[in-house]
Structure 1
């Protein structure tokens, strides 16, 4: 959780700086404007990049800071109440859904990819999966006994990790299938 949140915080910071630069000059050439497909500027000037009236990256600065705090406290031995961890998982689920909505928009509507945005997608997935892993182990999610037992068996068998790795592989395959050699043009 901590590693994913730190990576996400760095990416959110870079995206925030880029958003300010694009606000000052929408035609600015960003360092990650590599080609027609890999273009932070194209993604950053889309309406999807400021869905709530301000750059989405600002949300990442807040959310990842909170996750870092929770992760560090957890590593220090703090045991959060069950309701808190359920709330954290629920809120992060919303962030996870939002990250994938943005990924889908980038792939299917905008037609360009931002490496920093992809980093956010990957780090959000990593944080969500690691938080879910922890919450399953600690039985924090108020799931029915049968569902908790099934989830625990996935975690203990290692299948949860394999499913997470498969998810990352599917993301990479989706990008490669969509853009192919244009990624490297």
Structure 2
């Protein structure tokens, strides 16, 4: 005689859901990043064909899109990085909508995967920022909007996943500290890039 053993249900602490404000921020960041990536793609096509982009980004000899978009760094996988943005910025939108739609929350693997992709984007934009300042000697305005979106997105995702215990209970304290200092951390991150650009390129003097 056999006895049916009920399947264990997911423990409550295995599912997590960010607050409404965080979820809405992810959606807004994803939409903004997607729109700017779309504009960058059209700017890229305009650079290749000589046609007019939807919105030009040539502000000065230094603040301009062309040198960045047509470099190997601007086409990392053999095509425009803007296509990567068009695809991947749907991630924060989906994560935010999932958080708002699910009362029980999503499992840890879901948030870990999301956080890993956002971390990859964070590293990617800093690499591009470094190359823009120190190798190409120009700053792409639309690219900088992507940086402005990705940096707080990463710190928010990192802080929340740590505080929620997505990476284990040991990180909860670090997550609380990170979120409490979030505005300052984001501003310092921005300032590091801005100061490096000004010292290297004299961006203000070029305007």
Instruction: Report the TM-score range of the alignment, normalised by the length of the smaller protein.
Output: 0.7 to 0.9
**Aligned counterpart for 1:81 among listed residues 107, 120, 125:** 107
Distance 1:80 1:149, change over 3 A: closer
**Aligned counterpart for 1:131 among listed residues 149, 152, 157:** 157
Alignment partner, residue 48 of structure 1? 73
Aligned residues: 179
Distance 1:105 1:155, change over 3 A: closer
Q: Which has the higher contact order (CA 8 A, sep 6+)?
A: 1
1:166 equivalent in alignment to 2:188:
yes
Q: Which moved more, 1:53-62 or 1:166-175?
A: 166-175
Alignment partner, residue 15 of structure 2? none
State the 1:28 CA deviation: 7.0
User: Which has more radius of gyration?
Assistant: 2
The list of structure 1 runs, each at least 4 consecutive aligned residues, that deviate by more than 4 angstroms after superposition, is: 27-30
Q: Is the 8 A contact 2:37 2:86 kept in 1?
A: yes
Q: Is the 8 A contact 1:37 1:113 kept in 2?
A: yes
Alignment partner, residue 63 of structure 1? 88
Alignment partner, residue 102 of structure 1? 128
Query: Which whole-Å CA distance do the structure 1 matches of 2:205 and 2:35 have between them?
Result: 27
Question: CA deviation digits over 1:9-44, x for unaligned, max 9?
Answer: 11101111112222323x978711122101101211
Which runs of 5 or more residues in structure 1 are unaligned? none
Alignment partner, residue 61 of structure 2? 36
Q: Is the 8 A contact 2:156 2:182 kept in 1?
A: no
TM-score by length of 2: 0.78
State the 1:149 CA deviation: 4.1
Query: Which whole-Å CA distance do the structure 2 matches of 1:137 and 1:152 have between them?
Result: 4
Which runs of 5 or more residues in structure 2 are unaligned? 1-25
Secondary structure in 1 matching 2:152: helix
Query: Which whole-Å CA distance do the structure 1 matches of 2:130 and 2:124 have between them?
Result: 10
Distance 1:40 1:152, change over 3 A: closer
Computed over aligned residues only, the root mean square deviation of the Cα atoms, in angstroms, reads 2.2
Q: Is the 8 A contact 2:162 2:172 kept in 1?
A: no
Query: Which whole-Å CA distance do the structure 1 matches of 2:89 and 2:128 have between them?
Result: 17
**Aligned counterpart for 1:10 among listed residues 15, 18, 35:** 35
Q: Which moved more, 1:162-171 or 1:131-140?
A: 162-171
Which structure: greater helix fraction? 1
Query: Which whole-Å CA distance do the structure 2 matches of 1:57 and 1:83 have between them?
Result: 27
